């Protein structure tokens, strides 16, 4: 895993992705840039000007952000980084399950492409129990009412040893996906995300709970819920409920855990 294999030498192209959108994806405009600090930050700065959903994708991000202020490390050609801005006619607090619905969209797309993955509550995709992709969702009240969500996604295609060293722990990559035309890969992810966003807009998270639980990486396993490095709950992970909360069977009984900035860790690897 110490070299980047540009299986597809085709550069990301706005026009190529636009042509590959389906009926759901056609709701979304697309822009490709060679380099930027953060696609999430770019879109957040432009929300008042947006009229339609927008996907912004960068060949390289220099200041990518993860959850809880962490850095999202990237390398040109090795990590697919993009953000989707989507308007919802509901308050930000009503978007609780959106990260999980987003995870379902990405995981099911990768499954269709022959890459089995699992979901780690609340924001990660795993391959062989190692992180393959992560999400950062940032929300803002819209001036016309309702909310904008900016959904940032980083998907490892080929991670060189030097990048893994900077990250500081083992991560997964997907050389099989790296062989694809990246425009086709992005378009398929966009089409799936747009379909899920539309369904979430209409029905919330409830229709996705069963789909998420099917992909649950730590179902019926003992896990710890951490907040800023401190243990806040420990118990058996039962799955997510209709709101996207994690149901945990603890020594004191069953509890529901909100996502926020907490993280999940298995008790034994």
Same domain, 41 and 154: yes
pLDDT of residue 198: 97
In a domain? residue 6 = no
In a domain? residue 98 = yes
Same domain, 151 and 38: yes
In a domain? residue 7 = no
Same domain, 146 and 50: yes
Q: What is the CATH number of the domain that holds 156?
A: 3.30.930.10
Give residue 208's Cα distance to chain centre. 15
Q: Is the pLDDT of residue 163 over 60?
A: no
Same domain, 224 and 172: no
In a domain? residue 90 = yes
Same domain, 236 and 162: no
Same domain, 237 and 125: no
Q: Is the pLDDT of residue 3 over 70?
A: no
In a domain? residue 32 = yes
Same domain, 208 and 224: no
pLDDT of residue 64: 61
Same domain, 59 and 26: yes
- Per-residue model confidence as pLDDT tens digits over 37-91: 999 999 999 999 999 999 999 998 887 655 444 555 556 568 899 999 999 999 9
Same domain, 107 and 195: yes
- Per-residue model confidence as pLDDT tens digits over 198-230: 999 999 999 999 999 999 999 999 999 998 889
Q: Which of 263, 23, 213, 230 is nearest to 100 (CA)?
A: 213
What's the pTM? 0.89
CA distance 152 to 97: 15
pLDDT of residue 170: 74
Same domain, 162 and 254: no
Total tally of structural domains belonging to the chain:
2
Q: Which residues are catalytic?
A: 67, 131, 265
Residue 234: domain span: 218-266
Strand partners, 65: 71
């Amino acid at each position: 895993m110490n070299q980047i294999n540009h299986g597809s030498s085709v550069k990301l192209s706005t026009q190529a992705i636009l042509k590959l959108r389906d009926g759901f994806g056609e709701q979304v405009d697309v822009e490709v840039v060679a380099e930027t600090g953060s696609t999430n930050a770019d879109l957040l700065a432009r929300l008042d000007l947006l009229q339609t959903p927008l996907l912004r994708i960068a060949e390289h991000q220099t200041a990518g952000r993860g959850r809880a202020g962490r850095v999202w490390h990237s390398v040109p050609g090795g990590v697919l980084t993009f953000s989707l801005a989507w308007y919802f006619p509901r308050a930000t607090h009503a978007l609780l399950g959106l990260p999980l619905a987003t995870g379902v969209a990405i995981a099911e797309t990768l499954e269709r492409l022959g890459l089995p993955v699992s979901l780690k509550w609340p924001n990660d995709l795993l391959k062989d129990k190692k992180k393959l992709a992560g999400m950062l969702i940032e929300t803002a009240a819209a001036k016309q009412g309702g909310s904008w969500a900016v959904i940032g996604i980083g998907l490892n295609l080929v991670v060189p040893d030097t990048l893994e060293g900077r990250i500081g722990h083992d991560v997964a990559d997907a050389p099989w996906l790296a062989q694809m035309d990246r425009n086709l890969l992005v378009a398929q992810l966009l089409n799936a995300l747009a379909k899920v966003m539309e369904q979430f807009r209409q029905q919330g998270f409830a229709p996705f709970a069963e789909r998420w639980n099917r992909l649950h990486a730590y179902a019926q396993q003992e896990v710890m819920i951490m907040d800023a490095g401190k243990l806040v709950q420990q118990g058996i992970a039962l799955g997510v409920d209709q709101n996207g909360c994690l149901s945990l069977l603890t020594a004191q009984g069953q509890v529901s855990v909100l996502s926020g900035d907490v993280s999940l860790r298995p008790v034994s690897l």
